[in-house]
Amino acid sequence: MAAIAHQSPRLMRLPEVSALVGFKRTHIYDLMAEGRFPKARRIGVRAVAWDSREVEQWVADRLEGSK
């Protein structure tokens, strides 16, 4: 696992996650269902968000694996 700079956690909503990883909603949810992407957390009745550290670590791991 690649180490990333320690950052304060924050909640990321779907548009930001999608922009960061380059995947559309459907693919993100497919990866989550397969256990290959960080799980979203319910933050309201009709709202979910991702832990920024988990998503950023997921991206870092993909970049590390591409070397």
Q: Is residue 59 part of a domain?
A: yes
Q: Is residue 5 part of a domain?
A: no
Domain count of the fold of the chain:
1
Q: Is residue 37 part of a domain?
A: yes
What is the mean pLDDT of the segment spanning 8-15? Answer: 94
Q: Which amino acid, 35?
A: G
Q: Is residue 6 part of a domain?
A: no
Which of 10, 11, 50, 9 lies closest to 28 in space, CA to CA?
Answer: 50
For the stretch 21-66, pLDDT in tens is 999 999 999 999 999 999 999 999 999 999 999 999 999 999 988 6
Supply the pLDDT for residue 6.
58
Q: Is residue 19 part of a domain?
A: yes
Here the CATH number for the domain that contains residue 49 is: 1.10.238
**pLDDT surpassing 70 at residue 3:** no
Range of the domain at 58: 11-65
Supply the pLDDT for residue 49.
98
Q: What are the φ/ψ torsions at residue 20 (nearest 5 degrees)?
A: -70, -45
Supply the pLDDT for residue 1.
46
Q: Is residue 52 part of a domain?
A: yes
How does residue 20 score in pLDDT terms, banded at 50, 70 and 90? very high
